[in-house]
Amino acid sequence: MSEKVVNDFSVTIATVNGSGSQTANVTLLRALFKMGIPVSGKNLFPSNIQGLPTWYTIRVSKDGFIARRDEQEVVVTLNPVSFARDLASVQPGGAFFYADDIKLPIARSDISVYPMPVKQMARAANVSPALRDYIANMVYVGILGYMLGIDMETIKQALSFHFKGKAQAIDSNFSTIKAAADWAAQNLKKSDPYSVAQMDSTSGFVMADGNTAAALGAIYGGLQFAAWYPITPASTLAESLNVFLPQLRKTTDGKQTYAVLQAEDELAAVGMAIGAGWGGLRSMTSTSGPGISLMAEYAGLAYYAEVPVVIWDVQRIGPSTGLPTRTAQGDLTEAYFLSHGDKQNIILLPGSVQECFEFGWKALDLAEHLQAPVFVLSDLDLGMNQWMTKPFEYPDTPLERGKVLWEADLKKLNGVWGRYKDSDGDGIPFRTVPGNKHPSAAWFGRGTGHDENARYTEDADTWESNMTRLKKKYDTARTLVPKPVIKVAKGATVGIIAYGSTEPAVEEALALLKQAGGPKTAFLRLRALPFTAEAQDFIKKYERIYIVEANRDGQLRQILSTVLPDQAHKFRSACHSDGLPLTAKWVKETILAQEEK
Amino acid sequence: MTTPAPVQTNKAGLSKNDYRGLPSTLCQGCGHNSIANQIITVCYDLNIVPEEIMKFSGIGCSSKSPAYFLNRSFGFNGLHGRMSSLATGALFADTTLRAIGISGDGDTASIGMGGFKHMVRRNAPIVYIVENNGVYGLTKGQFSATAEVGLNLKHQGTNQYMPVDICMEALASNATFVARSFAGDAKQVKELLKAALSHHGVAVLDIISPCVTFNNQEDATHSYTWGKDHEAPLHEISFIPALDEIELQGEFAEGTVREVSMHDGSTVLLKKLEKDYDPTSRANAFQMLESTQLNNWLVTGLLYIDESKPTLTETFNLVDTPLNRLADPDLRPARETIEKINAMMF
């Protein structure tokens, strides 16, 4: 056996979709987290209810690097269909665990091979036949747990969390895990170097997924109306609203301060959200790429009629139906330019689960402040996977409701105001909302040409001056959106720009570049469009700028090139899109290869 | 010098002028103008404060008309075929307000069919008026989905396809108020509008509203002439507001009249004409619409009503204060809850 490797490797578990393995996988992930080891888990699943191969990959990293890796040191398979591929994927010197009812050749002598009596132990478990398939997954939890040295107590805690404290479910699963661990102790001889050991690097963190965080953030942002249509990978965002709103936003007499409505399609979902936004409610919808495409016409109405609404796009890989269960950052240009005619949209780019929460409330503030649609681009990796994250922080500013005039305000103004008038010079007009009983409160919303008083007009100058004001409003947005996070190494000559869920891969790549003696780098994590002054200054400072993105076309680079054409010669794309989260190794190698040119 | 005659006002202290809109830009003689005028009259007569109404529309000639009534009401002229979703969201803003939606046959029965039927099945509290003329006016005379088989239009040739019956679609989607009328029958339009405004839920009013420019040939089923010749009212309808006394005398003698009690305490009186018609039976309504199609009648009146179903917004158990008047303490959970939420994560 080669030298021991503790808390620094990746595990992949191959199972059959719909077999209940997700419970087992998340249990392992959580147990490792509870042991204080920095960890990440990514579900690489098929678009299917039952039957297709599915993988779950866990990375433990004593150094706190949690991006996905391509290299798998430990592989577990219960699936004869993917067996050959799984076997081939084990790193030399690694460990291969397999269900011993799979009678397929194992022609590798460079790895440790461990059979697992999965079927036999599942049959021996004291559960109904209907639950046997589920309990079978606990066999690998027990065996892997023993062989890697996972603390059985943390496994129990993870089970208890998953089954919400229900003793019977916890006990029956745990007894199988225990039996499997005992079997491993008696029957398997460890011959691989990989194991885990208690650390103290996860205290002060919790585990959550981005969709739950987004929903909670919106709830703390005073969300009042949400309409949605089911779509992978966004559905759990709206479903989380339905879980947490009743707990957090009912009055003492049980009445609701909110409404969530499942619409008949995405056209209706965004339409309802815009109707509610026009009505003065903090309003949002959540979807993925195909839904965004359907929302295009309505997004233009919200832009031009100046209606606040928040649109979450939990991105999956496209175009078209694409791979509904695989991740990408491919909707950036679509969201930026969404709908016909001249416009740019406001986009927030959360880079962590905690930021999904923060932008959950900030997006509602910005939408009402700017009276505009605000897009939040998350993705499947961030939205659906469990991440270790800093706990959610209570909002540090009161709700921003924007320029809304009520009866008393109009009385002071003697009823004189103009819905689309730039009274303050920031491009943001005042508005009133239905229910305002002042006789001069009402205005007529429309997507057609309108003057400062919202009256229909085809006058050329009026059209143009209104569009100019909307552009000015976008410049005001530039000063209000979240600023980028910038980290500069001393003597940096090369800039790197990334956004969203690629952050862990880029952070690790920076360390790898340093190790490899690569260029000194400055890293800017972009958190919003339009580009703030900080982002523009950053670009001007460095000789070369690498733009790292999980898409084919380098969409951020495309946008940056149009916004800063005189800087475009500096931009180099590091973009890649195969449906999987980027790896640090790929980022490092892509940058180094271009540096050597 | 003569003193000007005092301006007549209603019980809300408002004059008819307070209910008007901008001058119409639709064609002279357009059925839609007459409907807009009836809405003005009805809201005035019922003493409705204009600020307590919201107006919605999609795109098309019909959808322009909310600009031509109730200037003091909030309104939103949205996207083609999407009035249903826009209004559905807005209805949650302040549930004390009433809503009037104006759509057309293209806006509802073609591009907006899905949204229309879903709004209906949810029983959204809105008066949903379809100004139905069988033709696209703004784009200059193409067939709509309600055009009859065999209709000839100048640049389009002959329509080959069966028409969509909006009342039938509404009924099939479990509408709780379905009526058909004819813009040329102002009195009936007025009484049906009053009943619709009192209805508890979605009130679908399919009003045949002739397009004088593109589809008013004498033999076209959406024309004035054909409507006048073929209108067959189910009953003579009159609306009695909640506080008014009902006198059933003379022409409203017992046995000849059906009373429908509305959720808000008002009453709709349906005077029997040739045959008695019970509008509380969905089966009757389907049968009536079926025979209408077979016999080429323009049957008008209240086809179906059910006051007992909860409305969309009622299913939510919302707070009494309008949602759009709630502020921070009601909308943001208290600071101490964040720890509990974090503790709920693993």
CATH code of the domain containing B115: 3.40.50.970
In chain B, the residue whose alpha carbon lies closest to the alpha carbon of A31 is: B346
Over 90: is that where the pLDDT of A506 sits?
yes
Q: Answer whether A421's CB lies under 8 Å from A429's CB.
A: yes
Residue B8 lies inside a defined structural domain of this protein: no
Across residues A420-440, what is the average pLDDT? 97
Residue B345 lies inside a defined structural domain of this protein: no
The domains located in chain A, with CATH, are 5-195 (3.40.920.10), 208-389 (3.40.50.970), 407-480 (no CATH), 485-595 (3.40.50.920)
Q: Give the pLDDT band of residue B244 (cuts 50, 70, 90).
A: confident
Over 70: is that where the pLDDT of B33 sits?
yes
Which residues on A lie below 8 Å from B325 (Cβ)? 435
Q: Which domain holds residue B167?
A: 16-316
Considering chain B, what is the average pLDDT of its residues? 95
Which residues on B lie below 8 Å from A278 (Cβ)? 76, 86, 89-90, 93
Q: Is B2 on the interface with A (CB under 8 A)?
A: no
Across residues B112-132, what is the average pLDDT? 98
Report the pLDDT value the prediction gives residue A128, as an integer from 0 to 100: 87
Residue B330 lies inside a defined structural domain of this protein: no
Tokens of A500: 């969203």
The span from the CA of A50 to the CA of A591, in Å, is 40
Q: What is the pLDDT of residues A450-466, one digit of tens each?
A: 999 999 999 999 999 99
Which of A244, A282, A439 lies closest to B72 in CB terms?
A439
Rama region for B166: left / alpha / beta (φ>0; ψ in -120 to 50; rest): alpha
Q: Give the pLDDT band of residue B135 (cuts 50, 70, 90).
A: very high
Q: Give the pLDDT band of residue B254 (cuts 50, 70, 90).
A: low
Report the pLDDT value the prediction gives residue B296, as an integer from 0 to 100: 86
Q: What is the pLDDT of residues A186-203, one digit of tens each?
A: 999 999 999 999 999 999
First-last CA distance in chain A: 41
Across residues A28-42, what is the average pLDDT? 98
Report the pLDDT value the prediction gives residue B209, as an integer from 0 to 100: 96
Q: Answer whether B136's CB lies under 8 Å from B211's CB.
A: no
Over 80: is that where the pLDDT of B253 sits?
no
Residue B340 lies inside a defined structural domain of this protein: no
Task: Determine whether the interchain pair A282/B331 forms a contact, defined as Cβ–Cβ distance below 8 Å.
Answer: yes
In chain B, the residue whose alpha carbon lies closest to the alpha carbon of A431 is: B74
Could you give the ipTM of this predicted complex?
0.97
CA angle A228, A232, A236 (to 5 degrees): 60
Which residues on B lie below 8 Å from A244 (Cβ)? 341
Report the pLDDT value the prediction gives residue B252, as an integer from 0 to 100: 59
Over 90: is that where the pLDDT of A304 sits?
yes
Structural domain count, chain B: 1
Residue B194 CA to chain centroid, in angstroms?
A: 10
Which residues on B lie below 8 Å from A436 (Cβ)? 51, 74
Task: Determine whether the interchain pair A442/B71 forms a contact, defined as Cβ–Cβ distance below 8 Å.
Answer: yes
Residue B1 lies inside a defined structural domain of this protein: no
| CA distances for B180 relative to A118, B134, B165, angstroms | 68, 15, 10
Report the pLDDT value the prediction gives residue A299, as an integer from 0 to 100: 98
Residue B339 lies inside a defined structural domain of this protein: no
Task: Determine whether the interchain pair A441/B333 forms a contact, defined as Cβ–Cβ distance below 8 Å.
Answer: no
Q: What is the pLDDT of residues B62-97, one digit of tens each?
A: 999 999 999 999 999 999 999 999 999 999 999 999
Residue B183 lies inside a defined structural domain of this protein: yes
Which of A257, A272, A438 lies closest to B330 in CB terms?
A257
Task: Determine whether the interchain pair B317/A256 forms a contact, defined as Cβ–Cβ distance below 8 Å.
Answer: yes
In chain A, the residue whose alpha carbon lies closest to the alpha carbon of B330 is: A257
Q: Which of A42-51, A110-119, A362-371, A566-575 has the lowest mean pLDDT?
A: A42-51
Report the pLDDT value the prediction gives residue A1, as an integer from 0 to 100: 59
Q: Answer whether B100's CB lies under 8 Å from B80's CB.
A: no
Residue B124 lies inside a defined structural domain of this protein: yes
Q: How many CB atoms lie within 10 A of CB A486?
A: 16
Report the pLDDT value the prediction gives residue A461, as an integer from 0 to 100: 98
Which residues on B lie below 8 Å from A311 (Cβ)? none
Q: Answer whether B16's CB lies under 8 Å from B44's CB.
A: yes
Q: Is the pTM of this model over 0.90?
A: yes
Which residues on A lie below 8 Å from B115 (Cβ)? 264, 267-268, 271
Q: Give the pLDDT band of residue A32 (cuts 50, 70, 90).
A: very high
Q: How many CB pairs under 8 A join A and B?
A: 214
Across residues A152-167, what is the average pLDDT? 97
Residues 52-81 of chain B whose Cβ lies under 8 A from any Cβ of chain A: 52, 54-55, 66-67, 71-79
Q: Answer whether A379's CB lies under 8 Å from A315's CB.
A: yes
Report the pLDDT value the prediction gives residue B248, as an integer from 0 to 100: 63
